[in-house]
Amino acid sequence: MKYYSTNNQNLNYSFREAIMRGLASDGGLIMPQYIPALKKSFINNLNNLTFQEIAFEISKLFITDKIPSNSLQTIIEKAINFKAPLYKLNSNTGILELFYGPTLAFKDFGARFMAQFMNYYVDKMNNKIDILVATSGDTGSAVASAFYGIDGINVYILYPSGMVSQVQEKQLTTFGNNITALEIKGSFDDCQNLVKKAFVDKEINEKYNLTSANSINIARLIPQSFYYFEAYKQITDKYDNVIFSVPSGNLGNLTAGLFAKKMGLPITKFIAANNFNNVFSNYIKTKIFKSKPTIKTISNAMDVGNPSNFIRIFKLYNEKHGLIVKDINSSYHSDEDTLKEIKYLYKKYSYLIDPHGAVASLALKKYIKEENPENYYGVILETAHPFKFNDILKNILNINVEIPDSIKHSLEQKKVSIKLSNTYSLFKEFLLSRG
């Protein structure tokens, strides 16, 4: 399996090159040259496979570099070491809970898979690498947690001081060891700019072997396809229509679902659920992809005005809007309706959903109402643990979400960060003094 740049079909990489680069050298996103097909017997036999066995079989098809089978198995066992249960809400709706990873969001799947592969390749190279990440919260904690304790990889996380939630800050700043939290006096964009400049800085590159752990890395996408199979396995009866509603921002989660369908998983329809950052929803409706400035909402991980994975979906469907709308429906929803939906699900089912999952629930309902599919089963992807949004839930439901055991520990630790201004020369000085 080779990988290509979305800017140039003829610019090719191996999986190892793809993961280490992140982006193609011409700035394009990296895509598999084809989506491998799974055997029908594999799909029919999902019931008899564990989540890790499913992950292993899919990985083998995407990663054909010379990685011994037992090494691949170890990588998967270390990365995908938590469950993805389908909570049966009612007879034809399930909620796929993707928040059992260490940082309570589905981004753990991608970050851990990428970290374990980098670990494997660094061992082989006998070299050290350094990772720079700018974060507005969730990505940084998933990356920090995934790389924590990995020999030969140092991670520097830049986050905007005072602009991440308390829980997020604890998750960024309490690891220590090979993880360094840099608290930047400035905005997320400032953090992003510092990282971008460092990547093209000659002096820094002489001292450091820099890599990004960017969300557009193909190694973060592949493992996200695993849980669509795991969800399908848990739907016990036969349905004519299986529909997945995906809370969407940068469209990585949706792209991974489309991979699963192309591999042969019989999903009838995807729904891209947007908040008022509705660039993709507008594209589905108007055939025109037009980025917009972001709007702040309560489902903040979906506040994306220029979703970078759009180009991957576009390529997957040969750039044809007509083919895209056959497989994907999309709608967008207000904060007000999102809060109502959280209340409704709690009152009716005693189910606590986070704002991102609530948007997906709204989008599924709208689709069912308008299209009236026969004999359907709808799956809502719940991408974050409701505890992460305790403030919002406390406000509208008058309850306190219980702290999940997995993060109690980090909440008790002392925050350790290095405070820096947003001036590039000072950031550079800091890096050079450390290298």
Ligand X SMILES: *Cc1c(COP(=O)(O)O)cnc(C)c1O
Residues taking part in catalysis = 107
Q: Are 404 and 176 in contact (CB under 8 A)?
A: no
Using the rule CB under 6 A, give the single segment among 71-79, 248-256, 390-398, 412-420 that binds ligand X.
248-256
Q: Which of residues 42-71 bind ligand X (CB under 6 A)?
A: none
For ligand X, which residue of 249, 257, 378, 386 counts as binding (CB under 6 A)? 249
What tokens appear for 31 in the block?
A: 């895509």
Q: Taking the complex as a whole, how short is the minimal distance between the CB of residue 301 and ligand X, in angstroms? A: 3
| Pairing outcome for strands 328-332 and 129-134 | unpaired
β strands within 161-304, DSSP E = 179-185, 210-212, 241-247, 269-274
Q: Is 385 in the site for ligand X (CB under 6 A)?
A: no
Closest CA to 98 of 353, 334, 366: 353
CB of 142 vs ligand X, minimal distance in Å: 8
Q: Which is nearer to ligand X, 174 or 250 (CB)?
A: 250
Nearest partner of 346 among 381, 398, 388, judged by Cα: 398
Q: Which stretch binds ligand X (CB under 6 A): 78-86, 247-255, 313-321, 334-342?
A: 247-255
- Tokens 């969300």 label which residue? 215
Q: Toward ligand X, which CB reaches closer, 252 or 378?
A: 252
Among 171, 274, 383, 390, binds ligand X (CB under 6 A): 383
Window 274 to 303, contacts with ligand X (CB under 6 A): 301-302
Rule CB under 6 A: which of 67-106 touch ligand X? Answer: 105
Q: Find the shortest distance in angstroms from Cβ 314 to ligand X.
A: 15
Smallest separation (angstroms) from ligand X to the CB of 327: 16
How far apart (Å, rounded) are the C-alpha atoms in residues 133 and 138? 11
**Residues 302-313: b if buried by 16+ CB within 10 A, e if exposed:** bbbeebbbbbbb
Positions in 317-356 near ligand X (CB under 6 A):
356
Among 93, 136, 180, 248, the residue binding ligand X under the rule CB under 6 A is: 248
Smallest gap from residue 279 Cβ to ligand X (A): 12
* Beta pairing, strands 30-32 & 93-97: unpaired
Residue 400 Cβ vs ligand X, minimum distance, rounded to whole Å: 20
| Pairing of β 269-274 and β 418-421 | unpaired
Other CB atoms closer than 10 Å to residue 410's CB: what's the count?
19
Residue 120 or 367 having the CB closest to ligand X: 367
Contact between 137 and ligand X by CB under 6 A: the answer reads no
All residues at 6 or more sequence positions from 288 whose CB lies less than 8 Å from its CB, including other chains: 282
Q: Which stretch binds ligand X (CB under 6 A): 17-25, 244-252, 364-372, 425-433?
A: 244-252
The footprint of ligand X on this chain (CB under 6 A) covers a number of residues equal to 15
Closest to ligand X by CB, 114 or 384: 384
Candidate ranges 11-19, 64-72, 170-178, 251-259; the one touching ligand X (CB under 6 A):
251-259
Closest C-alpha to 270, from 279, 278, 281:
281
Helix (H, G, I), strand (E, B) or coil at 153: strand
Q: Which residues of 57-75 are buried (b: 16+ CB within 10 A; e: fewer)?
A: ebbeebbeeebeeeebbeb
Does residue 220 interact with ligand X by CB under 6 A? Answer: no
**Residue from 251, 284, 342, 353 in contact with ligand X (CB under 6 A):** 251
* Residues at the contact surface with ligand X, assessed by CB under 6 A: 105, 107, 138, 247-253, 301-302, 356, 383-384
